[in-house]
A = this chain, B = another copy of it.
């Protein structure tokens, strides 16, 4: 590693003070145009680059923000991250990404680790629904490090969030299944202590009630978002005496599992059973039997999350304010639920 040039080096060369160099480089008004030009020129000539670590120590800002997600190998989270980067990058921030793999202890470790690294804020999608009871998390709140939830959020005073209208998305998907003639619609849910899953469940339920159909709690199964879990739950549903004629899943992955299981049972999609997922993962479109799903505009969600962070960090008034940004979902109707493609 070659020794890097510092402001002292260029100060010595110009026979001035480091302070002056600093001022010149930071567009400080109290400096003559002549020296400013001179400094900037020589800085360039000497390949000067500001040492961000020193600046971070001095200013107390690291210009790093932490992003915590369950996993990055889902298109949804990867796209949210892309959106976050697009917005933060031009503002000089870097993004440190941490995965929890849905493990509670990893989520806590990530939080501690990010705080330790002096991040200027944390943007996260919750893995553990009981997060707010954790001591480390409580201390995070106490420290007033800007924290913003996206997608998987909880309603915590002072913590802003960016989500889509999950109720609306679920309602639309369920309504669509009803319009296709389905009468017994099952729901593959997830931990309803998390707002998104609760709201999707509520949207699903409301659509059924509004349509005058019977709501059957036995058709709701709570599982985590994995293909295998979707298969298992679907197996249970299919072996019921009065099996459902549609499945609305809160995840594309579990919807995929459902489809695999339904086929295994020799049933036809969408004729015997309709299926709809949630998130618009790319594979839902790729498949021969494309899957009906709800798009969450993840890139936009990421950008907005970053914007909320930038607002919080630039607004010095540390009054406890909470902002809730809600995007509109879009139902994408595809083969897995379209019975009469007349």
Contacts and interface: CB of A to CB of B under 8 A. Distances in A.
Interface of A: 1-2, 47, 49-54, 56-57, 62-64, 71-73, 75, 78-79, 81-82, 85, 89, 94-99, 113-118, 139, 142-145, 227, 256, 282-283, 286-289
A114 B94 CA distance: 9
A116 B49 contact: yes
Contact of A73 (B57, B82, B143, B144): B82
A82 B98 CA distance: 9
19 contacts: A2-B143, A2-B144, A47-B139, A52-B117, A53-B53, A53-B117, A53-B118, A54-B57, A71-B78, A72-B72, A73-B75, A73-B78, A73-B82, A85-B98, A94-B96, A94-B114, A95-B96, A283-B286, A288-B289
Contact of A118 (B2, B51, B72): B51
Given A72-B72, A144-B1, A286-B283, A99 B82 contact: yes
Contacts of A96: 64, 94-97
Contacts of A282: 283
A288 B286 contact: no
A225 B96 CA distance: 26
A164 B18 CA distance: 50
Nearest to A92: B113
A72 B78 contact: yes
Contacts of A118: 51-53
B94 A117 contact: yes
Contact of A286 (B62, B89, B287): B287
8 nearest A-B residue pairs (beta carbon): A73-B78, A283-B283, A72-B78, A53-B56, A53-B118, A53-B57, A288-B288, A57-B57
A1 to B, nearest CB: 5
A155 B2 CA distance: 23
A97 to B, nearest CB: 5
Contacts of A289: 288
A143 B89 CA distance: 24
Contact of A287 (B54, B75, B145, B287): B287
Given A72-B72, A99-B85, A53 B49 contact: no
A119 B256 CA distance: 40
A257 to B, nearest CB: 10
